[in-house]
Amino acid sequence: MSFQDSDETTSKESAFDAPAAWRLVMELRGAFASGKTRSYDWRVTQLKALEKLVTNHEPEIVDALRKDLAKPPLETVAYEIAMLKNSCKVALKELKYWISPEKVKTSLAAFPSSAEIVSEPLGVVLVISAWNYPFLLSLDPVIGAIAAGNAVVLKPSEIAPATSSLMAKLLGDYMDNSCIRVVEGAVDETSALLEQKWDKIFYTGNGRVARVVMAAAAKHLTPVVLELGGKSPVVVDSNINLKVATRRIIAGKWGCNNGQACISPDYIITTKEYAPKLVDALKTELEKFYGKNPLESEDLSRIVNSNHFNRLKKLLDDDKVSDKIVHGGEKDESKLKISPTLLLDVPRDSLIMSEEIFGPLLPILTVDKLEESFVVINSGPKPLAAYIFTNNKKLKELFVRNISAGGLVVNDTTLHLAVHTLPFGGVGESGVGAYHGKFSFDAFSHKKAVLYRSFIGDASVRYPPYTSTKQRLLKALIGGGILGIIRALFGLS
């Protein structure tokens, strides 16, 4: 995902500069300091307003995404609108539990005492979103920030201008603008925002820009959540229901924004022996889904803009892979469309294998034994997601144990995104931190430790003058063992 990529534009005569950003942050700090965002009622009111916004304006949201990405309405409704509604419902249902102090045990060193962990809002937070799922990736983090009791600034991506404009209008109409604001714009506005001191920055995009965000955050020691991407692999065994597997791979690749998704399958690894059968099955199902001329299909999103179209064209034109295309490869620059494309036995040192594809191209690598796929995956940066299709119990266990990725799915693709009880986030170069469900609430909360004591049990052992007996007792107390304390009292070794 990307917001500041080669296709970004620089704002001309922007009215939103660093002083304007500073004033905005100060206004929100004043609102936060008033305590209003901390109240349970305010959080519930804003979450209900957000749910109502999404429900009442479904046609406008579908239309905006159609304009920005030619996204099929079903994808918008299923993967953006429905998921946002569910996030709101989960937060509203669970909020009282989330904000309740968590009672924890204490140690003998603090006896008698009680303790709890209190979740408190961080303060004023910045959410910088991406263009490929512009409603979901903008508002899902905002739900967590509101649930946790923060004031929020949302910077949507200008690469999806219709959606950005609609969000700015709707949040202005529905939400408490003294605490929740939208800043539209491009590089200049984003840069102005990043100059400010925030209490947390949540960025969805690519690794290059994430380094810029992290560097800006480091100046103020601001914590970050970075939702990035990477080359998400799919390992395909031969002992599977091939039709189901291919349909699920296609749904995760081309049914998710035509491959323009951070968790879309980026490449397949299978055995040399099984590859022809897998390719044939993929061809069959692709034709069923998108017809003989997929460039005319209304069920495939277009490439977001000409820069990304040309980037993908460059991957296909690489001498190392141009003769590896076994299906698809058709392009229509006027429509910004590329057909679902399969490439077999792509060299691992080719351009298409050196970066996240983020489009409708799917390379297939082959190995002699499927276990070799683990070496291939682990030789690169840790991906945001990794998938395996197999009925082999031992292989599943080896995959889970040996593959480090943000999330794993066995016998499907991308569906972990919809399970709010699972954390969604990356590891290594695929991201920092996680969200969804309570993990979103936690991402925007500080876990404050609180210890309660009375005035009884004031042991003299902690005060001077220090003696050898006191030293033995303190060591035993800190160690927490009753037997150790008894031995210390009686001078036993």
In DSSP terms, 367 is beta-bridged to: 271
* pLDDT for residue 51: 98
Structure tokens, 442: 């936690």
- Rounded Cα distance, 204 and 140, in Å: 11
Identify the residue with better confidence: 26 or 9: 26
Residues 221 and 238 in one domain: no
* pLDDT tens, residue by residue, 56-96: 999 999 999 999 999 999 999 999 999 999 999 999 999 99
Q: Whose CA is closest to 251, among 236, 265, 237?
A: 265
pLDDT of residue 473: 80
Looking at the structure, tell me whether residues 322 and 216 fall in a common domain.
Answer: no
| Angle, vertex CA 12, rays to CA 8 and CA 15, nearest 5 | 115
Task: Answer yes or no: do 222 and 243 share one domain.
Answer: no
**Residue 317 scores a pLDDT above 50:** yes
- Whether residue 150 contacts residue 122, with contact meaning beta carbons closer than 8 Å, is answered with yes
Query: 458 in a domain, yes or no?
Result: no
pLDDT-derived band at 134, boundaries 50, 70, 90 = very high
pLDDT of residue 1: 37
CATH number, residue 416: 3.40.309.10
Instruction: Say whether both 118 and 224 belong to one domain.
Output: yes
C-alpha to C-alpha distance for 151 and 31, rounded to whole angstroms: 8
- CA neighbor of 279 nearest in space, from 324, 361, 342, 360: 342
Token pair 């609180």 in the structure block, residue: 450
6 falls in which pLDDT band (50, 70, 90)?
very low
Q: Is residue 29 part of a domain?
A: yes
Q: Which residue has the higher pLDDT, 107 or 119?
A: 119
Specify whether the CB–CB gap between 216 and 193 falls below 8 A.
Answer: no
**Banded pLDDT at 4 (limits 50, 70, 90):** very low
Flag whether pLDDT at 279 surpasses 90: yes
Average predicted confidence (pLDDT) for the chain: 93
Residue 454 belongs to a domain: no
428-438 pLDDT, tens digit per residue, is 999 999 999 99
Q: Which helix (H) or strand (E) segment is 116 a member of? A: strand 113-121
Q: Domain of residue 152: give its range.
A: 18-228+436-446
One domain for residues 181 and 264: no
pLDDT at 466: 87
pLDDT digits (tens, 9 = 90+) for 171-186: 999 999 999 999 999 9
* Residue 7 banded pLDDT, cuts 50, 70, 90: very low
pLDDT over 90 at 210, yes or no:
yes
- Exposed (0-12), middle (13-18) or buried (19+): which is 367, by Cβ within 10 Å? middle
pLDDT of res. 75: 95
pLDDT value, residue 109: 80
Examine the domain organization and report whether 156 and 247 are in the same domain.
no
Residue 129 phi, psi (nearest 5): -105, 175
Does residue 479 lie within any of the structural domains? Answer: no
* Positions marked active-site: 227, 262
* Domain limit, last residue, from 373, 392, 423: 423
Domain assignment present for residue 45? The answer is yes
Please give the DSSP secondary-structure letter assigned to residue 97: H
Q: How many domains does the chain have?
A: 2
Q: What is the pLDDT of residue 10?
A: 43
Q: Same structural domain for residues 337 and 373?
A: yes
Count the alpha carbons within 13 Å of 63 in the hemisphere toward its beta carbon.
Answer: 7
Residue 118 lies in a domain: yes
Domain assignment of residue 281, yes or no: yes
Residue 248 lies in a domain: yes
Q: What is the predicted pLDDT for the residue at 12?
A: 44
Q: Please tell me the pTM assigned to this model.
A: 0.93
Amino acid identity of residue 424, one-letter, is F
Handedness of CA 193, 197, 198, 201 (dihedral sign): positive
Q: How confident is the model at residue 107 (pLDDT cuts 50, 70, 90)?
A: confident
Q: Which helix (H) or strand (E) holds 240?
A: none
Distance CA 159, CA 435 (A): 24
Using alpha carbons, list the distances in angstroms from residue 375 to 367, 380, 398: 11, 9, 12
d(CA 394, CA 392): 6
292 and 170 assigned to the same domain: no
Domain at 132, CATH number: 3.40.605.10
Q: Give the Cα separation of 274 and 143 in Å (integer).
A: 45
Centre a 10 Å sphere on the Cβ of residue 161 and count the other Cβ atoms it contains: 17
| Inter-CA distances, 113 with 19, 470, 487, Å | 49, 21, 24
Q: What is the pLDDT of residues 323-369, one digit of tens each?
A: 999 999 999 999 999 999 999 999 999 999 999 999 999 999 999 99
Half-sphere exposure of 185 (CA within 13 A, CB side): 21
User: In this structure, are 190 and 282 located in the same domain?
Assistant: no
Residues 19, 455: Cα–Cα separation, whole Å: 51
Contact by Cβ (8 Å): 149, 38: yes
Q: Is the pLDDT of residue 481 over 80?
A: no
How would residue 488 be classed by pLDDT, with cut points 50, 70 and 90?
low
- pLDDT average, residue stretch 288-314: 96
One domain for residues 133 and 242: no
| In a shared domain, residues 351 and 327 | yes
Q: How far apart are alpha carbons 111 and 154 in whole angstroms?
A: 46
- Rounding to the nearest 10 degrees, give the CA dihedral for residues 211, 212, 217, 220: 120
The one-letter amino acid code at 468 reads S
The CA–CA distances, whole Å, from 12 to 6, 9, 17, 53, 158 equal: 17, 9, 11, 31, 14
Task: Give buried/exposed letters for 306-328 (b at 16+ CB in 10 A, else e).
Answer: eebbebbeebbebeebeebbbbb
Amino acid sitting at position 303: I
User: What dihedral do alpha carbons 333, 338, 339, 342 form, nearest 10°?
Assistant: 140
Q: Write down the pLDDT at residue 382.
A: 97
Same domain, 194 and 51: yes
68 vs 303: CA distance, rounded Å: 10
User: Cis ω on the peptide bond leading into residue 464 (within 30° of 0)?
Assistant: no
pLDDT value of position 40 = 98
